Chains A and B, each alone.
Chain A
């Protein structure tokens, strides 16, 4: 069977386009009532009183929970400072403190969503307000170095023998560039809002919850609700996008479950778009200074990358922009990264697509472009001159790295050699045309996972694990991997996922699902076929009855032995068995200590900037990716295109606008929080090297979910510089930065 690396339609596509895929908010049940979050309208202070009398008499109201009439929620387990994965740190509603604008301060339950919403508006809350710091700039005075950043120290230093400090190394450099880059708070904004439907049956909870981690959610819910994990089942077969904001447990889920328990009725809560701007995380704002020292030939001699990222004062999260980029990309004898946290009276941040990497690569790859301009060396050539053949900190070799090939192939496909390095040298009418390049990278992660294979008497085979399909194509990946290992067409594979009761799988985050679960599927196929053979030889009515297991073999859905060849479903039928199943596990091993694992890419971009009015539009994009084996060309391409679209949003449009005086968010909707429309997106050319990384796992797959975004903002900024001669170091790049001095028309 040749299923891997083909271009295969999503196996769940029909369910989705015909509306049959049921998402977490799509469940209707008898006696269902609806929850609605009431959020604070101040950034800091205390609630003095909440008058719920009018709300209580509002039509359809079932219950109103507030800090003065709370639902019991225990503190979630603290996974150390970086425990964002365990969700909100503060069990909300337990005390009257307000720590950020939009904090949940009440939970209203009514017979309909509209009635709950209306009643929530009738609650009169009196606050005692305290001054709040809500902007990075104003919080810099309180910045501190955290205990750890991305599993490392806040400062990581690699210095050549005899060099005592990075500043000394920089002082000795022949050429120096140094600049500060800013990126704003951004929000994930998946299409599907967070939704939770909680149903109790005695002391057992069944919960349909929009999550990237059913088993994490199961554990966390059990902890905060004070019940046994075995009594919680989390179901999430479909996710309408997550991008990281569904990787953690947020308070609306336990509040919904706790209310359902107290009220003895199923409760459904669907967040509004507006509520999602403070209730389910965001990408923190980051300020970075990158200083590069180099020889006149363009060899880096020193790299200093300093990052400051915002974090909610009540919930630590580090957007590890410097650590996750400058410690991985270029060869340099001296590299120092630092990270400081700027605590703000603002909602908790969390992982957002390519956390740390996306803002970090914007800074580092912009700085490299600035260096290339200063040196007069072509940006692709400059990157090749600083090519790292081993990971720069521990000097471990890469498991598989073909980034040089990405640069060359990408340059070729894009027509890089036609580029004019001199800014403002290409124009079309009153549009200045520019070309830019940046590198993409993302760490390859892998976790322990278990999968199950089930030969069914109907001739199909199910493959299952508690993994997720966020629109990423995981159903199809499971089907393909099982199909390949079983030698059975994809159409006969039945993938099952998104249920905490299935075999162990990690959070669908860090681009690790395919790399973690696929090897487990292969192991499960092995165990299931062994089981099938053993059943076939032992059953009296089996065509293979009495044979030695070693005389029977499995291939392409058929058992063979003793001159017979019988399809497995016929064997099962003869045995009157509905199914035979086997499970298998796969874990990372020794290779973790022998190699470094990273995915790479080269991203080339053409922009047009109107020389009168300064709007920049991306008009061409080429991306060549080195991500290991590509399991499914079609969904992989979609993932990378999606990442590039995300990156175009980050480069030109996205920013959460916070009123500096009160922490109020001005654009909590999709009319004013701008994401790209079709009209903003040109043809995107994606090519995969498709070179298996078999040192990482047997299938040679790494991840593709996040890397697509990584180089995009810098490629755009670099192309804009090439078009206009203006270097913009603040995202997003909007017309006001590009209203440069007026030029004549061509």
Chain B
């Protein structure tokens, strides 16, 4: 761990005006971890835990979650459990109880990839040291992405919450030296392409103050399915966030995204589109998910994710769709 200075920010303005070499400590479960292994080395550490970015409210058809809310408390909020089960489930299937008690929503959305090459400074990594190369393509890549893979990077985005949120068209609220703005979470995450070191559309000094999710009644019919080697405390091999608007047996609308397979949380609007107007049936689902793997680039050890993604989506759709004959 490199030497750094520590500041406890008392106002958001103060935090956003910190230098470009600063980083913000929320729960610290990812940042401090990476500092200890020298992967991140901010000169200044700004502790944002005193900032007023709290609260979970559901008013006027909008769910607002403060960036400093803990994963555990958001997962248990009655509004979230009842109206956005996919968000609650994604949170509860993340990490461990101890981590969820510490980790914040903002930190979760900003967490870095678990790619082992990224996390070990003795190895090259284009995300950590741009231009140094990526050994994962010819090395250990079972857990890596098949979608959004460029030539520079194939690491997955690890957050489960982000998958649920992009599915539901959530936005992040940002505050920076130039003021506040809000953008779609789906636009917030960048494809690695030639600059895998740049993961977010966040400007220097900007902070996430919260997340907003538009409410739709049928989001109550949503779920998060996470497939992993072990039953708990593991990142997704593949996951699916789905919400279905079903009228009788007819699908009126759908929201779908996948995790564990993309270099960023992977929204699947084409799959949703293919479902609209169709009857709820296993065949409908199986047919619709075919398009999910369009453009997939399987690597030496993760070719199975092409099939696994479709199966995960279908299983989740059958679960949420219900009533399948």
Contacts and interface: CB of A to CB of B under 8 A. Distances in A.
Given A672-B116, A736-B308, A610 B315 contact: yes
Given A612-B312, A657-B140, A666-B139, A745 B227 contact: no
B231 A680 contact: yes
A735 B236 CA distance: 12
A615 B227 contact: yes
Contact of B116 (A615, A653, A667, A678): A667
Given A613-B227, A664-B123, A739 B308 contact: yes
B201 interface: no
Contacts of B114: 671-672
Contacts, number: 96
A616 to B, nearest CB: 10
B54 interface: no
Contacts of A745: 282, 318, 324
A615 B312 contact: no
A194 interface: no
Interface string A715-745: 0000000000000000010111001001011
B314 interface: yes
B140 A739 contact: no
A676 B230 CA distance: 7
Interface string B20-40: 000000000000000000100
Main secondary structure of the interface of A (DSSP, over half): loop
B135 interface: yes
A652 interface: yes
Nearest to A736: B304
Among A612, A662, A672, A679: residue with most chain B CB under 10 A: A612
B307 to A, nearest CB: 5
Interface string B96-115: 00000000000000000010
Nearest to A660: B139
Nearest to B139: A659
Given A661-B139, A672-B114, A745-B324, A735 B304 contact: yes
Contacts of A576: none
A409 interface: no
Contacts of A615: 227-229
A118 interface: yes
Contacts of A41: 122-123
A254 interface: no
Given A679-B231, A679-B232, A680-B232, A114 B1 contact: yes
B43 to A, nearest CB: 15
Contacts of B117: 666
A430 interface: yes
A118 B1 contact: yes
Nearest to A648: B230
Nearest to B225: A613
Nearest to A616: B229
B218 interface: no
Interface residues of B, number: 38
A658 B308 CA distance: 24
Nearest to A737: B304
Contacts of B142: 657
Contacts of A677: 230-233
B200 interface: no
A667 B229 CA distance: 14
A661 B133 CA distance: 14
Contacts of A613: 227, 238, 308, 311-312, 315
B120 A617 contact: no
A664 B120 contact: yes
Contacts of A735: 227, 229, 237, 304, 308
Contacts of B312: 612-613
Contacts of A676: 230
A674 B318 contact: no
Given A662-B135, A745-B282, A652 B229 contact: yes
B234 interface: yes
A100 to B, nearest CB: 14
A121 interface: yes
A614 interface: yes
Given A430-B315, A610-B315, A657-B140, A680 B230 contact: yes
B314 A612 contact: yes
Contacts of B286: 742
Interface of B: 1-2, 38, 114, 116-117, 120-123, 135, 138-140, 142-143, 227-235, 237-238, 282, 286, 304, 307-308, 311-312, 314-315, 318, 324
25 contacts: A41-B122, A41-B123, A430-B315, A612-B315, A615-B227, A653-B229, A657-B140, A659-B140, A662-B135, A664-B120, A664-B123, A666-B117, A666-B140, A667-B116, A671-B234, A671-B235, A672-B116, A674-B234, A676-B230, A732-B229, A735-B227, A735-B237, A736-B304, A739-B311, A745-B318
Given A664-B120, A666-B140, A734-B229, 9 more contacts: A613-B312, A661-B135, A661-B138, A661-B139, A662-B139, A671-B235, A674-B230, A679-B230, A735-B308
- In order of increasing CB-CB distance, the 5 nearest A-B pairs are A736-B304, A41-B122, A679-B231, A666-B140, A679-B232
